[in-house]
Structure 1
């Protein structure tokens, strides 16, 4: 392979190089800028002194620093000879006959068992730092190697014990990648020495049990019991829980005092990555700014997943934006060089599986997994880099997988040649053992004692399994909770309103924007949707509750309705009014996110776990796009409490409503969230008034029972003149109303005068009210279901009892197989029957079933919408969907 094919240093004659370099030294402007850049870079590589000596030597030094990793002995499965200067000469790099000492030194640093990639980094200062740290690194000390050997013994004996006691049971063992343990142990030791006090770890299932036992110190009896099948959360099976290699663990390491959280995760590979980062950010924000580096995130990956799963790249892009950065995350890729049965050349297009880190200027290290020295040096360099530059670093631990993908898999069906080699390979523990014995660092008696100690601990833990029981956890309260939401004083409402409706002094706004801001206070004394939201968040901030709101274009709002940041038209500076309500208020963050749903939603979920006191909100640009994060919704938000007993109060804001904008800008898929709803795991709401939205957000923030809240937010209602709320509704004794009854009609008529109930949710209620008023249909009661789950049984039952002989109609704008109908149908019928209603069978009024959420032609949409509204008032109601 030709190296540096486009580089001037690669093929240009030496005399020519020396001549052009002399001219550059005399007058930099006399040579082409591309050559000037090369010579400046070379001077930097040589420590800032002017380039001297033969240009060929400089070319060699530059090449070793930039491309030495290509020659490095990082793959334990390869048998290529050690790299020599002669070998490099054969690769078209012209050298002097003599071998300069500097080149020999660099050869050892860059072409040994640790490869260093840094040439992709744009910042010269950072590259120079990496070169200095690499070239001045020292070999691990004797005590470090002894400690590493102890971890390798623990790793091997642990896997062997599980294999013996639980033959064939899935554990995703670490055999072949045992160097991970001394590497991770070293990182934690370094972190503690650097002032880190809290660590959040996310990892794949391979080696997870080993890490929990031998790095985090999870009690062996607990770990083995869970692995055997014991319920992990107490004697009463109050939830389904999860398999042992998905469970989390919290501990304080006795040696260092580090508080470590092993984040639970599903088998959906890499899904936990953004959750870890978000949790780290939440912990950091609860500390003074100067102390935020004391929280560290560590994320472990495997080679096929890290390059194959897009959420990795999405997560990495959160590393530098101010609203998401955590000051650098440490990543380790356990590179098995095999993905289940997939070979590397089948699983990726890049040379390395660490390619995504080039995009964010991370330090990339490749360590031979059969050499502990390389693993430790990589750990040292990565932790130092993160501390110095507040950036991500990634270690590619190149190892192998001695068994199949899991313990039930036979890899020799698909990789017979590889596994014949692996059967004969000496593992990293025995390689280090030989080295330490030869150097008289260890003796046979110490080795025997280390092994016996492991056996004793494992056997003792195994002996108590028949009687082991997990401690009984605290009972979980129901989803709706019973927390008291304090009333907001009228003066507080007025104070917030004046603040958000008055441009800051000295700030010049676009005239149209200024007009919109000042209209937040009106003579009508009513609030539109965006004002209701601002009042909710502002009141919480004044009560000491932090608020974080993020999403795509969230600061302004995709529909130009929110505008939480006022941008000066002259200097472009942003002014966020809700951050300036009071010196004593809680922190408020409103953040435009990257163009990502999966990673950003995962980040905010993790943030909500790490900062349970805060109100954490994520907004989709349109609710339709939230399904790009479906893995997070299914595996974490909807089921995290059931599987892992993790509580989150995350709020998802999903703009929803059919408005003739086509199938991609209409539906947040109400039906999917209702399908996920069970065991009071989430709250699903679709408020239709600013005041009810206000009270819903406040209830969520004050609810001691943390549950994710899914809110289907409006688009049309943001500016609909009828969709406003009187200011007194924000400061009265009102609470969130899960059901809104058409009070005017109910007050004018007795129960017997109401002949029909139209039950609906969302913006369609306003069209139904308008049509009812046009017709003068005072015998029709319109009821809005503002909370879909948990279904407000009591409020609905009261309506059915009050109007027992009415015709019951469910009206929706979504197709019959979408929206809330299919989920509500039999539930409503059962509730009506149970409440004594005489005609409990419901009519359906809405669009027929459809594969697509909405049509693409506005005129057709208007016509269809009108048909639904008209059909709802037909006697009997016209079933516009499917027969029920």
Structure 2
């Protein structure tokens, strides 16, 4: 369907909000072209109480659009005919050149910001003039009457008809009972689809990763990497995170799903783990190997776009894309999960609450690299706690898969679902090439995503006395510690899905055991990570308190010292041993 994007701005917001600049900047980039957006700026020359000289440093509030060479029409909004002429010309330009265009309606705000406060406190001079002005309707009707184009009686009839429409609507509104914005909010459940895939279908995707146009020259080192990946499929094990992801994307494409992935450096992957957007080694031409799979279906497609260095603007775009293309799998990846806070407004205002506020559904997926490897406070934490704080009324799904097979099934589950909520996935960094986290072929050809995974550490077959709950890559450190110490009577349960909390699954895992101690282990500081969320749900479910094992509360997400990081990590492991040995 043809779409005409129209954005309505305030003058102070157009000049002052960074998301406007971000959006203008990517308006001509691959993956974000919309065929031109019409920007209508309601320029009432005031921002709440802020005057133009305080609101921007430019001559006009719209000068920002000059950066993308968008034509800007400054129009006297008291002249309706000039406004009509300008918008007609703007649309003709947009249709012909497929470029953004800006209409700056220079007007005034008759009352205060909320029509209740007194604007003369801060702008006394301009409001002295505004009080003396006739309404635009009066100015235009006087003009038509003076030119003999219309009579006084006709003007009064127009005004009466217009007022009557409002009166009828107002009376009708008073009779409508207050109801829920969205009657199905929080109550709809997705149809469960099998996420396992037959081997021959996986092999078809794997072969597509090695097929290039005849005149395409792949980087020699990358060629070996991709060939080695495909070998792991034939060997039946060692399928790493990036390969499992490619298999998920490819099989969804074959199933007829439209897959769209965007983010900074996402074609290669921040950690050189993906390689789904290849570059010709000799001429720089781009090629997407999985895109060829879409040609075999009537509706499936695969797209991957390296975005501009933007979080708020790009995530806002992807949220909108997923809301109007509900059958698509739309994924946005942050370069590091830490950087997603640049899109916090979009996350709070839209992703977490649009369904509850407006009945607006969207199934956008956030891929947020997260994990403590000693890289410092700007490259360790995706702020797990902030997303969990937003969880309520089944508004979204929040997961931290600990292995490639789990991620494979999670992606396929989201892509095949008929009812898509936003999905937040805390993805790893150090596990991307980990042998321990790699998948076996049978884990992809059978099974499904598991909200919890249990692993007993009990070589002596003792009663289970201690249950350790945790999430993410810290599992592998804990498992190594317990094995090296030959600990028995311990069960480790990985919480792969934070929200919605699947108590029904956990109940089955704990059936028949009576542990004396429950622990929550995490790498994040106590005031961060999954602790507060997990404690709330687990304490109610278990009817018992949990013992916290992790870093103490901290103002910063992580230490900047690798030596300090390693010391803190070792302290966590030692504390676990101290508890389970007693």
Is TM (by shorter chain) over 0.5? yes
Determine the structure 2 residue equivalent to 1:845: 549
Shift of 1:486: 5.3
Larger radius of gyration between Structure 1 and Structure 2: 1
Q: Is the 8 A contact 2:252 2:416 kept in 1?
A: no
Shift of 1:391: 0.7
Shift of 1:318: 1.7
| Distance of 2:154 and 2:460 partners within structure 1 | 91
| Cα separation, partners in 2 of 1:626 and 1:632, compared to 1, 3 Å | same
| Distance of 1:707 and 1:359 partners within structure 2 | 36
Q: Is the 8 A contact 2:186 2:393 kept in 1?
A: no
Determine the structure 2 residue equivalent to 1:457: 165
Shift of 1:466: 3.9
| Distance of 2:146 and 2:545 partners within structure 1 | 85
Q: Is the 8 A contact 1:530 1:561 kept in 2?
A: yes
| Distance of 2:523 and 2:119 partners within structure 1 | 53
| Cα separation, partners in 2 of 1:483 and 1:875, compared to 1, 3 Å | closer
Give the 3-state SS of the residue equivalent to 2:93 in structure 1: helix
Determine the structure 2 residue equivalent to 1:736: 449
Shift of 1:502: 5.2
Give the 3-state SS of the residue equivalent to 1:356 in structure 2: helix
Determine the structure 2 residue equivalent to 1:600: 314
Among 515, 518, 527, the residue aligned to 2:224: 515
| Distance of 2:392 and 2:179 partners within structure 1 | 25
Tell me if 1:695 matches 2:409: yes
Give the 3-state SS of the residue equivalent to 2:230 in structure 1: coil
Q: How many residues align?
A: 576
Determine the structure 1 residue equivalent to 2:501: 791
Determine the structure 1 residue equivalent to 2:283: 571
CA RMSD of aligned residues (A): 1.9
Q: Is the 8 A contact 1:681 1:707 kept in 2?
A: yes
Q: How does 1:606-755 map to 2 (within 5 A)?
A: 606-732=320-446, 734-742=447-455, 745=457, 753-755=463-465
Shift of 1:360: 0.2
Tell me if 1:559 matches 2:271: yes
| Distance of 1:653 and 1:763 partners within structure 2 | 16
What do the CA deviations read for 1:315-364 (whole angstroms, capped 9, x no partner)?
11121002100111101111111111111111111110001100000001
Shift of 1:477: 5.6
Give the 3-state SS of the residue equivalent to 1:803 in structure 2: coil
| Distance of 1:508 and 1:673 partners within structure 2 | 43
Determine the structure 2 residue equivalent to 1:42: none
Tell me if 1:431 matches 2:139: yes
Shift of 1:817: 0.5
With the length of structure 1 as denominator, give the TM-score of the two structures: 0.63
What do the CA deviations read for 1:403-456 (whole angstroms, capped 9, x no partner)?
111111111112222212111112322221122112221111211111111222
| Distance of 2:31 and 2:172 partners within structure 1 | 48
Q: Is the 8 A contact 1:502 1:518 kept in 2?
A: no
Among 467, 473, 491, the residue aligned to 1:757: 467
Give the 3-state SS of the residue equivalent to 1:873 in structure 2: helix
| Cα separation, partners in 2 of 1:755 and 1:665, compared to 1, 3 Å | same
Q: Is the 8 A contact 1:479 1:706 kept in 2?
A: no
Shift of 1:753: 2.2
Q: Is the 8 A contact 1:479 1:707 kept in 2?
A: no
Shift of 1:506: 4.6
| Cα separation, partners in 2 of 1:807 and 1:505, compared to 1, 3 Å | farther
| Distance of 2:186 and 2:125 partners within structure 1 | 56
Q: Is the 8 A contact 1:845 1:877 kept in 2?
A: no
Shift of 1:629: 0.5
Among 752, 763, 766, the residue aligned to 2:476: 766
| Cα separation, partners in 2 of 1:447 and 1:519, compared to 1, 3 Å | same
Give the 3-state SS of the residue equivalent to 1:571 in structure 2: coil
Q: Is the 8 A contact 1:479 1:790 kept in 2?
A: no
| Distance of 2:210 and 2:536 partners within structure 1 | 47
Q: How does 1:799-878 map to 2 (within 5 A)?
A: 799-833=509-543, 840-875=544-579
Shift of 1:841: 2.1
| Distance of 2:326 and 2:580 partners within structure 1 | 50
Q: Is the 8 A contact 2:185 2:359 kept in 1?
A: no
Q: Is the 8 A contact 2:186 2:394 kept in 1?
A: no
Determine the structure 1 residue equivalent to 2:236: 525
What do the CA deviations read for 1:350-399 (whole angstroms, capped 9, x no partner)?
11000110000000110011112321221121111111111111011111
| Cα separation, partners in 2 of 1:725 and 1:806, compared to 1, 3 Å | farther
| Cα separation, partners in 2 of 1:667 and 1:506, compared to 1, 3 Å | same
Shift of 1:620: 0.2
Determine the structure 2 residue equivalent to 1:536: 248
Q: How does 1:132-531 map to 2 (within 5 A)?
A: 287=1, 294-469=2-177, 475-476=184-185, 478=187, 481-485=190-194, 487-501=196-210, 505-523=214-232, 524-526=235-237, 527-531=239-243
Determine the structure 2 residue equivalent to 1:149: none
Structure 1 unpaired stretches of 5+: 1-286, 288-293, 834-839, 879-884
Shift of 1:310: 0.8
Shift of 1:702: 2.0
| Distance of 2:378 and 2:179 partners within structure 1 | 48
Structure 2 unpaired stretches of 5+: none
With the length of structure 2 as denominator, give the TM-score of the two structures: 0.95
| Distance of 2:267 and 2:177 partners within structure 1 | 49
Determine the structure 2 residue equivalent to 1:94: none
| Cα separation, partners in 2 of 1:700 and 1:749, compared to 1, 3 Å | farther
Q: Is the 8 A contact 2:518 2:546 kept in 1?
A: yes
| Distance of 1:521 and 1:462 partners within structure 2 | 66
Give the 3-state SS of the residue equivalent to 1:495 in structure 2: helix
